[in-house]
């Protein structure tokens, strides 16, 4: 049974602003909730065709987006709130800007699952977790995805990203994905071009699942399937059917759990689906 989507999980995000320094002009949100995708838009920089972005301890690429360039940066769930800086790097020139990170008011949810899922997991989960970790560290280095990301299935959202969950009143975890309502047999499609880095058959927690690498450390994942239509190593195209909705693994009923990971960080999949659909960033959620 689908449950209602929780009410607004955070206050509205402040609007996007344009800032310019040292001949570098960027568009970015004034503030962003933990767990969200931070999109930086750069105006063309003369003499600097391929600027990089420093964010935290890492350097991120930029890519052409119309006449401007974009960079996609992760803001992890539970990130320390406060002013965070990102730097636009052009050769030896480094220009720093600031974004306010705040903590989302994520709702709680109590779920009842088969008691076997809240007792000690079987031995096979050790190997399954290792396979998933390996898959999420492999795939093409360069960007394979293009344009925008489609919805993986037609259903409505039944549980959003970041919800604090308790299973059978015992095990607690954060919901690191977005759940779509669905019937067993509904088609699931790849949200963009990529490579299947793991087609998992009947894993204990994820059930039958597909992990796609879209390149440049961007991954999407699709859990609880009733049928897999792809195999590890396959190349897929945006909109291609990769399997069917099911109720395999740790579930309360048939649905698709859709996850999005960027540079080692699980982020809100709604941001991935919104990316590029509006001229600038959405400001209303
Ligand atoms: Zn889920």
Q: How many structural domains are present in the chain?
A: 2
Report pLDDT for 175: 94
pLDDT tens for the chain, 285 residues long, are 444 444 444 444 558 899 999 999 999 999 999 999 999 999 999 999 999 999 999 999 999 998 899 999 999 999 999 999 999 999 999 999 999 999 998 988 888 878 887 778 899 999 999 999 999 999 999 999 999 999 999 999 999 999 998 888 876 889 999 999 999 999 999 999 999 999 999 999 999 999 999 999 999 999 999 999 999 999 999 999 999 999 999 898 999 999 999 999 999 999 999 998 755 444 433
Q: Using the mean position of ligand 1's atoms as its centre, give its distance from the Cα of residue 52 in Å.
A: 33
Report pLDDT for 117: 77
Smallest CA-to-CA distance from 214 within 72, 112, 95, 56 is with: 72
Helices (H), the chain: 124-135, 269-274
In a domain, 279, yes or no: no
Q: Are both 229 and 193 inside the same structural domain?
A: yes
Q: Among the three residues 45, 80, 104, which one is the final residue of a domain in this structure?
A: 104
Q: Using the mean position of ligand 1's atoms as its centre, give its distance from the Cα of residue 98 in Å.
A: 32
Report pLDDT for 283: 41
Contacts of 181 (CB under 8 A, 6+ apart): 2, 155, 156, 157, 158, 255
In a domain, 31, yes or no: yes
Residues with CB under 5 A from ligand 1 (ion): 177, 179, 257
In this structure, what is the dihedral angle of CA atoms 116, 121, 122, 125, given to the nearest 10 degrees?
130
Report pLDDT for 119: 77
Q: Using the mean position of ligand 1's atoms as its centre, give its distance from the Cα of residue 155 in Å.
A: 13
Q: Are both 240 and 257 inside the same structural domain?
A: yes
Q: Using the mean position of ligand 1's atoms as its centre, give its distance from the Cα of residue 41 in Å.
A: 30
Q: How far apart are CA 64 and CA 37, in angstroms?
A: 18
In a domain, 4, yes or no: no
Q: Using the mean position of ligand 1's atoms as its centre, give its distance from the Cα of residue 68 in Å.
A: 35
Q: Are both 21 and 135 inside the same structural domain?
A: no
Q: Note down the domain range covering 73.
A: 16-104
Q: What single DSSP character describes residue 54? A: E
Q: Are both 98 and 172 inside the same structural domain?
A: no
Q: Using the mean position of ligand 1's atoms as its centre, give its distance from the Cα of residue 36 in Å.
A: 16
| Cross-strand pairs, 110 | 166
Q: How far apart are CA 48 and CA 45, in angstroms?
A: 5
């Amino acid at each position: 049974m689908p449950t209602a989507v929780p009410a607004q999980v955070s206050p509205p995000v402040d609007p996007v602003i344009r800032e310019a320094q040292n001949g570098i002009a960027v568009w970015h949100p004034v503030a962003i909730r933990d767990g969200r995708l931070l999109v930086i838009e750069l105006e063309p920089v003369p003499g600097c065709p391929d600027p990089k972005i420093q964010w935290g301890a890492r350097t991120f690429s930029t890519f052409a987006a119309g006449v401007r360039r974009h960079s996609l940066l992760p803001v992890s769930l539970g990130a320390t709130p406060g002013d965070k800086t990102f730097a636009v790097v052009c050769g030896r020139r480094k220009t720093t800007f600031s974004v306010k990170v705040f903590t989302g008011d994520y709702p709680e949810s109590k779920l009842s699952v088969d008691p076997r899922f809240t007792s000690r997991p079987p031995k096979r989960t050790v190997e399954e977790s290792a396979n998933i970790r390996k898959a999420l560290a492999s795939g093409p280095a360069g960007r394979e995805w293009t344009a925008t990301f489609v919805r993986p299935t037609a259903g409505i959202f039944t549980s959003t990203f970041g919800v604090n969950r308790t299973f059978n009143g015992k095990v607690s975890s954060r919901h690191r994905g977005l759940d779509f309502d669905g019937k067993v047999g509904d088609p699931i499609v790849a949200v963009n071009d990529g490579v299947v880095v793991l087609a998992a058959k009947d894993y204990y927690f994820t059930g039958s699942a597909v992990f796609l690498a879209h390149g440049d450390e961007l991954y999407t994942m699709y859990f609880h399937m009733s049928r897999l239509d792809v195999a590890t190593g396959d190349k897929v195209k945006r909109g291609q059917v990769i399997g069917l909705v099911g109720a395999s693994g740790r579930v309360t009923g048939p649905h698709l759990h859709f996850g999005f990971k960027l540079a080692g960080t699980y982020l809100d999949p709604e941001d991935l689906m919104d990316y590029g659909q509006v001229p600038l960033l959405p400001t209303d959620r």
